[in-house]
């Protein structure tokens, strides 16, 4: 989720053209971007012609089934009332139990500022050793915990046939940046070094996260590369990566269901705290980091989400850096659509696509 608008692209960024391709399965494939001479690789919003094409592809009305669900159970992520009230509203949302066949065990691991709670999920499998997925929940770095994301973690365990380790990191604003990064990094290192303790393969480890958790998953991919941990894959659900609210989707979807532009900025202020934003570190804004040598990525965005073009921009930057990326836009859905899997068919389909990519990468 974003906090500050960014100035227009520097003069060195030239015009580009983009072609959006559709695979045989009907999934959008990340477009190739062709730049004219004089172009630079400096981070910034894509040129206008690129975004015009993206907007054309994304122009679809809200899914009808989802619309009815949102009318029956209205919900908006907001900082109104403070952090405790925001957490209460989120915790009271009705949730559909999923995959009771997946076992779960609560554990604690050593963290930089005391114990960190994790929950280890294991799906039924004939294999004794499974790949591992570190799951990092969303919620604007401020709401959410192991219980509110229990169903989502189970879905990933069952769908990817992998051991999933869900991390209960410290939340803002009581624990602003970089507390969440420090906790999740400690958990990532623990999984990589102790995978054999819970029947997982240390050579087949991936990170996955949604929204703020997608931000943290992208950061983990960069930290793991630098530490030589060799993650296999990164699954980023509608992530926050650029902190650039000048991207078109923040204007188009400023009053979107579930997540508004005002909420993006409010949660980001809680998380950023006193951090100097004149030159934010890549552990806060992963789009500013070195994007070479990272594990392949699947980035999922939604048409009716302020963060849509943020995830698309990160996919473009990864591609320019040589990192394989699959970008999927669920153009009739909203931010947080994984939570509607099993209830809204379009959300189920989009979720299955991402989890299937995860499973294939860890096979």
Active-site residue numbers? 211, 305, 335
H or E stretch covering 54: helix 48-58
Do residues 58 and 20 make contact, with C-beta atoms less than 8 angstroms apart?
no
Classify residue 268 by burial, with Cβ atoms within 10 Å: 0-12, 13-18, 19+. buried
Q: How far apart are CA 106 and CA 119, in angstroms?
A: 4
Asked whether the beta carbons of 155 and 338 are under 8 A apart, the reply is yes
Start-to-end CA span in the chain (Å): 32
Q: What is the CA radius of gyration of the chain?
A: 19
Burial label for 86, CB within 10 Å (0-12, 13-18, 19+), is buried
d(CA 183, CA 186): 5
Classify residue 96 by its DSSP letter.
-
């Amino acid at each position: 989720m974003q906090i500050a608008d960014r100035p227009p692209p520097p003069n060195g960024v030239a015009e580009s053209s983009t072609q959006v391709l559709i695979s045989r399965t009907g999934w959008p494939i990340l477009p190739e971007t062709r730049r004219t001479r004089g172009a630079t690789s400096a981070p910034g919003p894509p040129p206008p012609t690129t975004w015009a094409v993206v907007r054309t592809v994304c122009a679809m009305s809200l899914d009808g089934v989802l619309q009815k669900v949102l009318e029956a159970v209205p919900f908006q992520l907001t900082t109104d009332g403070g952090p405790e009230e925001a957490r209460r509203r989120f915790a009271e949302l009705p949730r559909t139990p999923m995959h009771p066949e997946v076992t779960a065990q609560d554990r604690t691991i050593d963290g930089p500022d005391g114990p960190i709670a994790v929950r280890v999920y294991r799906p039924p499998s004939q294999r004794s050793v499974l790949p591992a997925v570190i799951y990092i929940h969303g919620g604007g770095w401020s709401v959410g915990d192991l219980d509110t994301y229990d169903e989502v973690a189970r879905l990933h365990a069952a769908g990817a046939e992998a051991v999933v380790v869900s991390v209960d990191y410290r939340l803002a604003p009581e624990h602003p940046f970089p507390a969440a990064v420090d906790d999740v990094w400690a958990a990532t290192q623990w999984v990589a070094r102790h995978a054999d303790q819970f029947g997982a393969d240390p050579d087949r480890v991936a990170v996955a996260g949604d929204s703020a958790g997608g931000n943290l998953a992208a950061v983990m991919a960069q930290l793991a590369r630098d530490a030589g941990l060799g993650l296999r894959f990164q699954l980023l659900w509608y992530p926050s990566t650029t902190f650039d609210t000048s991207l078109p989707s923040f204007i188009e979807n400023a009053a979107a269901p579930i997540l508004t532009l005002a909420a993006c900025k409010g949660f980001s202020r809680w998380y950023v705290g006193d951090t100097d934003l004149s030159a934010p570190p890549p552990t806060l804004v992963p789009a500013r980091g070195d994007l070479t040598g990272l594990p392949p990525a699947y980035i999922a965005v939604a048409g009716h989400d302020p963060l849509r073009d943020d995830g698309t921009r990160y996919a473009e930057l990864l591609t320019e850096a040589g990192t394989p990326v699959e970008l999927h836009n669920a153009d009739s859905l909203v931010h947080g659509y994984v939570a509607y899997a099993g209830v809204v068919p379009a959300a189920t389909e989009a979720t299955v696509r991402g989890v299937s990519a995860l499973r294939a990468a860890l096979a």
